[in-house]
């Protein structure tokens, strides 16, 4: 406890980071329910490679990575969900195409600019796996993540019923007058924003754990969309806080600690779900 108090008093970024990590985890969990139900939960892995390529280009051109990665990642997310509706190219194949291409492009940039390779490598590693320490998170990144998180939460709450409709049955939603294409695009944009939010803090490769595990954990116990959403949100916030405490006390990487905490909670919920099924 004394160590936690010391870090919170000595390092202002720790206080901000706890807030933002909680918001990022919450946004990822809320979005994750729709993505898991749409069988598109692996989009995080694909978009992480896009962020890697965009970060490599930005660093080579001496630009701030996040301002280049954000539009590239959002556009790629929209393209992925649009390609998903193409019967000739299934969702998993679309992810493989875009992620492999982006990863190859990023690595090519890494080798074409040897004078900046160390800087690119550092930014790319941070993009993929997140910050090695919660203290190293920049205040500008914290502010940007906080703003984006509140935007994502507002959009999700405001369009909750529409997102619910297109998640379960796009054809029925369209028949009732809902413009499913618009809301699918909205989900894609939010997905891209969440990936960029997580880049320097959790790591875009590890964001898949924050997207999928809270939703999967909640689905083991609850069966209605509303209950799954609420439970998933609580799980995400709990894992973010516990993971952050462990990170501070044990000096472990931020992203992997929170991801492993989510995996542990999933194991608990899996057992609870199995016990509930056995009693019926």
Instruction: Give CA–CA dist 67/130, Å, rounded.
Output: 17
CA 267: distance to chain centroid? 20
Average pLDDT over residues 36-51: 76
Q: What is the DSSP letter of 221?
A: H
In sequence order, the 6+-apart residues with CB closer than 8 A to the CB of 207 are 28, 44, 48, 194, 195, 198
What is the per-residue pLDDT across 163-205, written as a single tens digit (0 to 9) for each? 888 877 777 777 777 787 788 888 888 888 888 777 767 776 6
In this prediction, residue 276 has a pLDDT band, given cuts at 50, 70 and 90, of confident
Predicted local confidence at residue 88, as pLDDT: 56
Predicted local confidence at residue 129, as pLDDT: 66
Tokens of 7: 């870090």
3-state DSSP call for residue 101? Answer: helix
Helices 254-279, 207-221: inter-axial angle, 10-degree rounding: 20
Contact present, 237 and 59 (Cβ < 8 Å): no
2-279 carries CATH number 3.40.50.800: no
Greater confidence (278 vs 190) lies with: 190
In this prediction, residue 133 has a pLDDT band, given cuts at 50, 70 and 90, of low
> In the chain, what are the domain boundaries?
2-279
User: Structure pTM?
Assistant: 0.81
What is the per-residue pLDDT across 57-71, written as a single tens digit (0 to 9) for each? 777 777 777 778 788
Classify residue 275 by burial, with Cβ atoms within 10 Å: 0-12, 13-18, 19+: exposed
In this prediction, residue 150 has a pLDDT band, given cuts at 50, 70 and 90, of confident
Instruction: Give CA–CA dist 109/94, Å, rounded.
Output: 23
pLDDT higher than threshold 70 for residue 157: yes
In this prediction, residue 131 has a pLDDT band, given cuts at 50, 70 and 90, of low
* Average pLDDT of every residue of the chain: 78
Greater confidence (30 vs 132) lies with: 30
Contact present, 110 and 59 (Cβ < 8 Å): no
Phi, psi of 179, rounded to the nearest 5 degrees: -80, 85
Instruction: Give CA–CA dist 61/3, Å, rounded.
Output: 41
In sequence order, the 6+-apart residues with CB closer than 8 A to the CB of 71 are none
Cα–Cα nearest to 130, from 262, 266, 265, 258: 258
Cα–Cα nearest to 255, from 126, 121, 64, 103: 126
């Amino acid at each position: 406890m004394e160590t936690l108090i010391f870090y919170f008093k000595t390092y202002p970024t720790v206080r901000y980071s706890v807030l933002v990590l909680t918001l990022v985890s919450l946004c990822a969990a809320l979005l994750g329910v729709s993505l898991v139900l749409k069988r598109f939960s692996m989009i995080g892995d694909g978009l992480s490679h896009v962020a890697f390529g965009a970060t490599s280009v930005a660093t080579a051109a001496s630009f701030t990575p996040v301002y280049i990665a954000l539009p590239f990642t959002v556009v790629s997310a929209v393209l992925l969900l649009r390609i998903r509706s193409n019967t000739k190219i299934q969702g998993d194949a679309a992810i493989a195409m875009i992620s492999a291409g982006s990863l190859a492009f990023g690595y090519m940039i890494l080798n074409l600019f040897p004078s900046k390779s160390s800087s690119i490598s550092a930014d790319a590693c941070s993009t993929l796996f997140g910050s090695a320490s919660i203290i190293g998170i920049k205040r500008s990144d914290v502010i940007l993540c906080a703003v984006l998180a509140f935007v994502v939460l507002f959009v999700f709450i405001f369009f909750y019923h529409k997102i619910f409709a297109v998640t379960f049955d796009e054809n029925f939603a369209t028949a009732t007058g809902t413009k499913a294409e618009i809301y699918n695009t909205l989900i894609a944009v939010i997905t891209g924003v969440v990936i960029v939010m997580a880049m320097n803090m959790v790591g875009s490769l590890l964001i898949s754990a924050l997207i999928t595990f809270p939703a999967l954990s909640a689905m083991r116990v609850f069966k209605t969309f509303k209950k799954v959403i609420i439970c998933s949100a609580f799980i995400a916030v709990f894992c973010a806080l516990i993971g952050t405490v462990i990170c501070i006390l044990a000096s472990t990487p931020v992203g992997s600690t929170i991801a492993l905490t989510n995996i542990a909670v999933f194991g608990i919920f899996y057992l609870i779900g199995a016990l509930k099924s056995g009693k019926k």
